[in-house]
Amino acid sequence: MSQRTPLIVVENPTPEPAKTQESYLPSWAGPTPPEILQAMANGDPTAIVNELIIKAAERRLGTQPLTQRSTDENREAVWATNKKLTAEVMPRLWPTKTGSGGKKRLKTLFSGQWADVPLEEFLAYAKDAGFEGVELACWHFDLQRALVDDAYVSWILALFAKYKLQLVAISAHLVGQAVLDNIEPRHKGILPAHVWGDGISYGVNLRAAEEMMDTAAVARRLGVNVVNGFTGSSIWHMVYDFPAAGEPAIQAGFDLLAIRWNPILDVFALFGEVFALEVHPTEIAFDIHTAERSLKNLDYRPEFGFNFDPSHLLWQGVDYVDFIRAFPDRIYHVHMKDATVKIGGKGSVLGSFLPFGHPDRGFDFVSLGRGDINFTKIIRALNAANYNGPLSNEWEDSGMDREEGAREASQFITAVDFSKSDRRMDQAFDQAA
């Protein structure tokens, strides 16, 4: 096995503190509960899983009641209240721009595709590449240890301070995916061992929900307000309507979103956190229509918004600028990620079961600025939405060296970002008249 070449030489590394306990496994980690196994033997255990997710939230909430879904009688009032509360979220999350001189949005790098690199080495590299902050993947550190070990949390924060980087968000895409998904063996490869557990599908759903609730607590301990991620989807396999699924089956999928994610979002609210769903194929929301339907099924609650990523909208044929315009007060975080689409080739936009980087794919992800996305239009739309938050490069390109690509992306973000004008272009004519 070849040894990895370091991204950068770390001088005077800060050692990770010694563990204070042998294991940081949570109390809920373990075999799938017997009531789920019994329900599986008798038929469909979904209702039992949902009840256990609610109980998990209640343990964390204490005396605070769970949010109840709206009814026909109070729906309009609930929606109006939640939309009003949502208008207060963005100014709280990102009151001002914190990038270069306060004129630019913060330029950050998502660590998800760099989790093979030790954390300090990655942070040293991010700083050297010109980034000002980091969106930290939950698989890049020990989340359960961070939940209880103060010294470990202090070490993480000290590393960010050492390299003068801002920690802007943490991201829980992999575990979030397992909350709603119909679990298959392939999920094992993306989940922490204690979430996968015995691999019994409904038990994995429950443990993933527990981990997401703990993620909200860890976000608060790390001093961030945003958790990006996925929700999964129990109905993604029905996305092509043949054989026809029928509207009741589709609505059941959106109902399950509310049943499982409302308790999770209640825990997020307890810690003052928001969840930013990356709208993406395989999620319950993958375009503008399904994003709106998801919001509606969650009663437009303010804890649920979006991590805007244009790359996943482009190849589906969705107008990514219209997405910002449709949800201007729900853009809680932004991914700067590019993609390219090839029409008329050998493969379709569905990927043709070809690996990323294959020349016959109908679409592929490419380094920032080298694809088909018009980021100038995106910046104009973000300006109109008064989004002051970070621009986070999620670097993915199977055909380009990642170190070269990330450095280039840093320069691209600086060049493409700009402030909106505080005056009309022809305002001087008025003064001259």
Contact 220, 273 (CB under 8 A): yes
Measured between alpha carbons, how far is 250 from 97 in angstroms, rounded to an integer? 40
Instruction: Give the pLDDT of residue 35.
Output: 96
Best CATH choice for the domain 73-421 from the list 3.20.20.150, 3.90.1170.50, 3.60.21.10, 3.30.1180.20: 3.20.20.150
- Cα dist from 374 to 278, 281, 330, 371, whole Å: 19, 21, 21, 9
Which of 224, 239, 245, 231 is closest to 93 using CA atoms?
224
Quote the pLDDT of residue 428.
65
Query: Scanning the structure block, which residue is given the tokens 């094992």?
Result: 188
- Which pLDDT belongs to residue 102? 84
134: helix, coil or strand? strand
- Cα distances (Å, whole numbers) of residue 402 to 297, 372, 397: 39, 19, 7
Distance, CA of 331 to CA of 163 (rounded, Å): 28
The rounded distance, in Å, linking the Cα atoms of 258 and 116 is 34
Q: Is the peptide bond before 243 cis (omega within 30 degrees of 0)?
A: yes
* 8 Å CB contact between 194 and 29: yes
- Domain residue extents for the chain: 73-421
pLDDT at residue 25, as a whole number: 96
Query: Chain centroid to CA 254: how far?
Result: 19
> Do residues 290 and 284 make contact, with C-beta atoms less than 8 angstroms apart?
yes
DSSP states along 268-293: HHHTT-EEEE---TTSS--SHHHHHH
**Distance, CA of 255 to chain centre:** 21
Helix axes 201-222, 150-162, angle to 10 degrees: 60
Task: List, run by run, the mean pLDDT of 10-residue segments along the chain (433 residues).
Answer: 84 96 96 97 96 98 94 97 97 94 93 97 98 98 98 98 98 98 98 98 98 98 98 97 96 98 98 98 98 98 98 98 98 98 91 95 96 98 97 96 97 96 74 63
Element (H, E) at 260: helix 247-270
Q: What is the full DSSP assignment across 360-416?
A: T-SEEEE-TTSSS--HHHHHHHHHHTT--S-EEE----TTS-HHHHHHHHHHHHHHH
Q: Cα-flanking dihedrals φ and ψ of residue 109, to 5°?
A: -125, 130
- How high is the pLDDT of residue 2? 62
